[in-house]
A and B are shown apart, each in its own frame.
Chain A
Amino acid sequence: MNPSVKFILVTLSMLVIAFFFNPWTPLLFWLGIILLQLTMSHINWKLWLLFMLPFSIGAFGYLWTTVVFGAETGGTIIWSFAGIDVTEEQWARALSLAFRVMAFSTLSLLFAFTTDPVKFIMSLMQQMKLSPKLSYGVMVGYQFLPVMKDEFTQIQQAQRLRGAETKKYSWQRLLSMRRVLIPMLAGAVRKAERSAFAMEARGFTGEPRSAFYHPVQIDRTDWLMSGIFLILLLTSCIGGSWLS
């Protein structure tokens, strides 16, 4: 699927969901997204669960704090526990918040897990008219990441040999990072200049280009997926309002 289209859909859904305060809309939407992911994508579910773990804890935290510390609203008390009375409205609001967190995180993960970053940048440039200067800049940065990582370990190793002791506390370690970062930054500046020269020497001027070798197109799947997505969004909005 076209990454730009996906990006727009994801952003749109988030904005829309943000305006519904009943618990049903985010719940329906969340279940729908998971269903979509189950049926239409191949992702590493183990990794997915691992990533979802902090979000789930966060969602539960929201639920708990809203229920326990929420403003007094009045209304029917549905549940009483250790002197805390939970009203119906509080409970609904808490659930709404929690599900919203779940829905948003699932949605973000859906995007992150199924999008190739290179293709995403290419698509941003081709469909969203992002300037080539910025897009290729990001691309070069992306290529440098593994190199920077190697450099980082190399510098650390070399400095440890000099007897630069590893600090006991993490804040001290954070401060001594400076020693590693300075040589790294010095190298990065040099590298960046060289890359810029290399690109320019190959005729890169930052002008919009007239043709692409790998055009990232919008095809039938995109329309289809957008349709499914919008239907899901609409159903959960209407269904949510109707159920509450």
Chain B
Amino acid sequence: MLEEIFSLDGLSFRFPEDEDKTLTNISFSVHRGERLVLTGPSGCGKSTFLYLLNRLYPDNCDGLVDGKIILFGKTAEDYAPGEINHRIATVFQDPDSQFCMPTVEEELAFTLENLQTPFAQMEPRITAVLEETGLAHLRNTVIQSLSGGMKQRVATACALIMEPEVLLLDEPLSHLDPYTALQFVHWLEDLQQASNLTIVTVEHRLDCWGSFFEREIQLGYDGRIVADQTFIPRQPILFPERQSAAQPITLLLTQGLSVTMKDKQLLDPLEFSVSQGEVVAIAGPNGSGKSTLVKALCGIYKPKTGTIRADGIGYVPQSPEYLFLTQSVQQEVAFSGASSQSELNGLMASLRLEEVREAHPFAISHGQKRRVAIAAMLADKKPVLLMDEPTSGQDDDALLELFNLIDQRSREGTSFLIVTHDMEFAAGLADSVILIKDGHMTGKFPANEVWSNEKLLASHHLLAPKGVVRPAKSFA
């Protein structure tokens, strides 16, 4: 019989300001060495549950707990603050706000200092964990200069240096591109096998994990366990078949466009055109110049050479709230004054914004915020929309909603240029793909040509979308 690590009995949890319980009647136990994933829709209390396991809750939110949480055979309340965190380590979602020291080495040392580790042991433990995690070459690197994927690895190393028995992961892949995510999963798998860690993960993008997990616990909207089952590897969500809505009218034409900043050529001269209703994905490795291109197109950066011809280009940043200037959704959409009242009403209706018409733009959900941003851009009479990483951190429902939104708008004549790492999303939606590498545009390709050309994909740090490659293989 394997040792029991967590055991929950009739656990319920409620935030003091909420009427309803976030988690209701949760009972299960976890054994040593298990690899467990918690799934469920956004906002179902998955993260809350994780915070109950590492004792961040209920102390930090005055939440009300019913039922029993037993950690390593002792009730959770009996642990002193910080005590349990030596045995249960956590890696969070956002790679940017997990660190408090400048360099990797100092960050690791911070963890050891928290554990009151004697000075003589610090150096060897830091060296050991860096070796084990394959990060030895980054020892004196400044953390903020690392990529998101590397930051997540450093965060994991910081968790592992405590020599924990359990590792909790809170959507660790949501800010990583698929290639980096895959590497992270492989790396974690090797680590787990070497140390027999217990891993509990909260995740909604299961397709990236392959067959990593052994067991899955599904939570429903009401915070109850829906299913507790053996984990089955998932396919990415299948987007519905979609007909290209591109029409032979050119909306955007760039010629010889290049961007130079402080004598550094960020973007080599490039040219392409986008038709009305066309959906274009822009892909390439991190730091290749994708966002430079987007910013040049919408006029934030002044191009050094070349021309951009378009009737108006709108921009939806990754955080749509950056755009908001007013106190209500309605004013936000009407801000530019370029559309008549009836046009505005039509837009609000088609983007399902009428229910939040009077709400403050900061107080609505993420999906709604993005719809407000899109509505505002369309109301500005900008028929070409640039979207920067719209998929990161979205669950399946949100992705489908976004898909439908773009699909519908493109049929109504809006062109989209979407910067994305999510190849499944791009494959489902894009009519063509612009590949960029090292500030140089490789070309604009019809979408189906790109997905089957593995060489081209690999040279741009991309993975073939899973739904598309398989049929190709079965033909062979």
Contacts and interface: CB of A to CB of B under 8 A. Distances in A.
Interface of A: 118, 136, 139-140, 143, 146-147, 154-155, 157-164, 179, 182-183, 186-187, 191-192, 194-205, 207, 209-215
Contact of B97 (A157, A194, A213): A194
Contacts of B102: 118, 143
A202 B325 contact: no
A209 B116 CA distance: 6
Nearest to A211: B119
B82 A205 contact: yes
Interface centre among A143, A161, A194, A201 (most CB of B within 10 A): A201
B56 A183 contact: no
B13 interface: no
Contacts of A136: 100, 110
A223 to B, nearest CB: 23
B158 A183 contact: no
B324 A200 contact: no
Which 3 A-B residue pairs are closest in the complex by CB-CB distance?
A213-B109, A205-B82, A201-B90
A136 to B, nearest CB: 6
Contacts of B116: 209-211
B403 interface: no
Contact of B100 (A143, A160, A182): A143
Contacts of B86: 203
Contacts of B158: 202
Interface centre among B113, B122, B155 (most CB of A within 10 A): B113
17 contacts: A154-B317, A160-B300, A162-B323, A162-B335, A162-B336, A162-B376, A163-B335, A186-B362, A199-B100, A200-B82, A201-B90, A204-B114, A209-B113, A213-B112, A213-B122, A213-B126, A215-B119
A197 B362 contact: no
Nearest to A191: B97
Interface string B209-221: 0000000000000
Interface in B183-235: none
A209 B112 CA distance: 10
B144 interface: yes
Contacts of B119: 211-213, 215
Nearest to B101: A139
A159 B325 contact: yes
A140 B100 contact: yes
Contact of A195 (B97, B114, B336, B362): B97
B121 to A, nearest CB: 9
B85 A200 contact: yes
A203 B82 CA distance: 5
Given A163-B336, A202-B159, A215-B119, 16 more contacts: A118-B101, A136-B110, A143-B101, A147-B96, A162-B325, A164-B325, A183-B324, A194-B92, A194-B97, A200-B82, A201-B90, A203-B162, A210-B116, A213-B119, A213-B122, A213-B126
Contacts of B362: 182-183, 186
A212 B99 CA distance: 18
A194 B115 contact: no
B97 A209 contact: no
Contacts, number: 135
B298 interface: yes
Interface string B399-414: 0000000000000000
Contacts of A202: 85, 89-90, 110-111, 114, 158-159, 162
B51 interface: yes
Contacts of A209: 113-114, 116
Contacts of A161: 298-300, 314-315, 323
B459 interface: no
Interface string B291-304: 00001001110000
Contacts of B140: none
B325 A186 contact: no
B7 interface: no
Given A163-B336, A179-B325, A203-B86, A158 B317 contact: yes
Nearest to A158: B322
Interface centre among A197, A209, A210 (most CB of B within 10 A): A197
B287 to A, nearest CB: 14
Given A164-B325, A197-B51, A202-B114, A213 B82 contact: no
A154 B86 CA distance: 38
A143 B97 CA distance: 9
A213 B319 contact: no
A213 B100 contact: no
A181 to B, nearest CB: 12
Nearest to B112: A213
A203 B335 CA distance: 48
Contacts of A195: 97-98, 100
B319 to A, nearest CB: 7
A211 B114 contact: no
A212 to B, nearest CB: 6
A192 B97 CA distance: 8
Nearest to B386: A161
Interface centre among A154, A157, A158, A194 (most CB of B within 10 A): A158
